[in-house]
């Protein structure tokens, strides 16, 4: 495995959550131009879904487990000479009111959506610096504004935003760039597998505003933003305007948001 990476002249792209949805679509877009290193918690599905991606390396890792990430980083650092592109795509969400959400659910969301990208980035940063590489983080507009019944998810994405915007300034002189992506509602497994307040699969339908976009639509925009060396990508005009409304008139935004997501207030676990 080491030999195949070392002899490959293609830039190396590491993608988490690559077995489905946006991560899989990004892998399919990049496989001709990059040596792919694909990571997902579901090893069997990862292998099956990426059989057509010749030469891709596969690694199973539970990103809620910091020890598992440490083991993965040891492997990656031993096998990769550099990392040109790190895409922190894997994520998890919930649909449950804060008072109905158990602490272990919040902790899992924080680990996968915030702490795992931080740990992976820190562990691969020397290899990214060596390549003057790029870090892509899949954030959310929920990190910019509150969304009812998503308190844990909003908190994790807000932390992700603040950490990597700070890191951007710190690593600029080392040649590492960062693209922060802020989608709204995508038709991906992250919502289909959303947790309820007890950590089970959420049974009720999600509330949303704006248009439902496909993961391929989002992947195309991300690839374009990478090529243009953009720092931030706000793909959905409606939710971008909503975030501006929240910053300028927070009380009005909260009132409108409560009305739009009122069905969540009646949901019982």
pLDDT digits (tens, 9 = 90+) for 107-118: 999 999 999 999
As a CATH number, domain 2-265 is 3.40.50.720
Q: Which residues of the chain have pLDDT under 50?
A: 1-4, 6
Q: For residue 175, is it left (φ>0), alpha (ψ between -120 and 50) or beta?
A: left
Among residues 18, 50, 137, 24, the alpha carbon closest in space to that of 86 is found at: 137
**pLDDT attached to residue 5:** 59
Phi, psi of 40 (to 5 degrees): -160, 155
Per-domain residue ranges for the chain?
2-265
Give the N- to C-terminal CA distance of the chain in Å, as an integer: 47
Q: Is 216 exposed, middle or buried (0-12, 13-18, 19+ CB in 10 A)?
A: middle
Q: Supply the pTM of this predicted model.
A: 0.92
Q: Give pLDDT, residue 266.
A: 66
Give 166-198 pLDDT, tens digit per residue: 999 999 999 999 999 998 777 766 666 889 898
Query: Over the stretch 75-101, which tens digit does the pLDDT of each residue have?
Result: 999 999 999 999 999 999 999 999 999
């Amino acid at each position: 495995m080491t030999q195949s990476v070392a002899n490959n002249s293609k830039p190396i792209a590491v993608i988490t959550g690559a077995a489905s949805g946006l991560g899989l679509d990004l892998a399919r877009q990049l496989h001709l131009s990059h040596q792919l290193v694909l990571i997902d918690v579901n090893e069997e599905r990862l292998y099956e879904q990426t059989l057509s991606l010749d030469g891709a390396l596969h690694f199973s890792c539970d990103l809620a487990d910091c020890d598992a990430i440490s083991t993965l980083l040891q492997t990656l650092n031993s096998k990769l000479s550099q990392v040109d592109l790190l895409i922190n795509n894997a994520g998890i969400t919930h649909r449950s009111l804060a008072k109905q959400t158990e602490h272990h659910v919040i902790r899992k969301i924080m680990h996968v959506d915030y702490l795992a990208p931080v740990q992976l980035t820190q562990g691969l940063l020397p290899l990214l610096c060596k390549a003057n590489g790029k870090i892509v983080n899949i954030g959310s507009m929920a990190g910019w504004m509150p969304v009812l019944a998503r308190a844990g998810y909003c908190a994790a994405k807000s932390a992700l935003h603040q950490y990597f915007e700070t890191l951007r300034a710190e690593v600029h002189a080392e040649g590492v760039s960062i693209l922060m992506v802020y989608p709204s509602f995508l038709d991906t497994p992250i919502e289909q597998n959303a947790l309820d307040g007890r950590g089970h699969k959420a049974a009720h339908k999600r509330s949303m505003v704006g248009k439902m976009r496909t993961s391929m639509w989002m992947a195309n925009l991300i690839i374009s933003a990478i090529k243009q060396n953009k720092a931030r990508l706000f793909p959905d005009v409606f939710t971008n305007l909503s975030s501006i409304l929240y910053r300028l008139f927070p009380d009005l935004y909260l009132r409108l948001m409560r009305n739009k997501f009122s069905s969540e207030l009646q949901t019982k676990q």
